[in-house]
Amino acid sequence: MSNEWDLFISHASEDKDFVKPLEEKLTNAGFKVWYDEHILTLGDSLVQKINEGLAKSKFGIVILSPNFFAKNWPQLELDGLFSFETAGEKKILPIRHNIEAESIRRNRTLLAGNLDVKSILGKHDVNSDLGRVLSKGQERRKYVFG
């Protein structure tokens, strides 16, 4: 199965103030982003649409926050992303937002080994880190995040 999306963004709806500008920057950089506000429409099956998005995305950006850990849906999305990761091939790109690494270790021990980027460093740093991962082999996108 070929990937239809470059990125799936998993987040709690309460964090849209951070997520929306990030999604816009990624979209403007030419990435095809699975983002709930653009994909889900009235009458859609949430389970079906989310499963399709997870399965057909090359990477999953996971916005880890207190809101994320307080809700079931985002954690189910993270479980789905874990199921698609294979040895040596990363799929999960975690971003810490308003949460410390120790809180993440307490909530999701398996994420403790994943290098993340902290949103408080500023959107430029987040964009730069994401840009390095996403631009590998995609020269036309490499400098958009600079």
Condensed to tens digits (0 to 9), the pLDDT of residues 75-84 reads: 999 989 988 8
DSSP string, 14-48: GGHHHHHHHHHHHHHTT--EE-HHHH--TT--HHH
Predicted local confidence at residue 121, as pLDDT: 41
Predicted local confidence at residue 120, as pLDDT: 45
**Which residue in 23, 52, 77, 100 is the catalytic one?**
77
What is the pTM assigned to this prediction?
0.80
Q: Is 89 a catalytic residue?
A: no
3-25: b or e for each residue (b if 16 or more CB lie within 10 Å)? eebbbbbbbbeebbebbeebbeb
| 2 or 26, greater pLDDT | 26
pLDDT tens column, 87-135: 667 888 888 899 888 888 888 866 755 555 555 444 445 556 666 667 6
